[in-house]
Amino acid sequence: MMTPARAPLLGVCIAALLAGCAVDPTFVPAMNTNPACPDLADWGAPELYGSWDLALPDVDRQGTVELSRHPEYGASLRGHLRYADGLQSIASGDLGEGAFNLDESVDGKTYYAFWTGHMVPESCGDEIRGLWQRLPQDGEPELQSRFVLRRR
């Protein structure tokens, strides 16, 4: 028998599979596990505004992300990424019910990478984890890595 707490997660998984999306096996819905922490499931884009350190451990890349209000869609995010190797990009995305999504672009026109993750409940809003997927580039295969964003 399925518990009511698992029913929404099952719906998200089925929707992701039907859409042909990769499902992050480490996904854990944001829940208030510490009474001193905010309820991350209720957070929206504004709670993420600010500077974050980024790590892509599986491809050995680091950098920073500055998240702010999207200029055209007030409930969404705009990200400015600076990788340690000098690459800079922009991203747009959302946060809803603890689920974090960004579409990254190097030239502002075409997709470079997709970020799919979740707020880490134990971090009280200071950490986001998930999967970064770079699209194939100039004959190179798609790359993917786990990612960690930590508030600066």
80 found inside a domain: yes
19 found inside a domain: no
CATH of the domain at 35: 2.40.128.120
Q: What is the DSSP letter of 142?
A: P
pLDDT value at 146 more than 80: yes
Residue with tokens 């030239």: 107
Average pLDDT for 57-70: 98
**Closest residue by Cα to residue 54 from 125, 144, 151, 120:** 151
8 found inside a domain: no
45 found inside a domain: yes
In DSSP terms, 143 is beta-bridged to: 134
pLDDT value at 137 more than 70: yes
Query: Among 29-33, 59-63, 146-150, which is the least confidently predicted range?
Result: 29-33
Q: What is the pTM of this model?
A: 0.77
In the prediction, which pLDDT does 133 show?
98
Number of domains in the chain: 1
- Segment 20-55, tens digit of pLDDT: 445 454 554 445 456 778 899 999 999 999 999 999
82 found inside a domain: yes
Q: At 9, phi and psi to the nearest 5?
A: -65, -40
83 found inside a domain: yes
Question: 77, 67 in Cβ contact below 8 A?
Answer: yes
In the prediction, which pLDDT does 62 show?
98
Question: 81, 89 in Cβ contact below 8 A?
Answer: yes
pLDDT value at 5 more than 90: no
In DSSP terms, 70 is beta-bridged to: none
- Segment 79-108, tens digit of pLDDT: 999 999 999 999 999 999 989 999 999 999
pLDDT value at 56 more than 80: yes
By residue range, what is the domain housing residue 81? 25-151
pLDDT value at 64 more than 80: yes
In the prediction, which pLDDT does 33 show?
57
In the prediction, which pLDDT does 96 show?
93
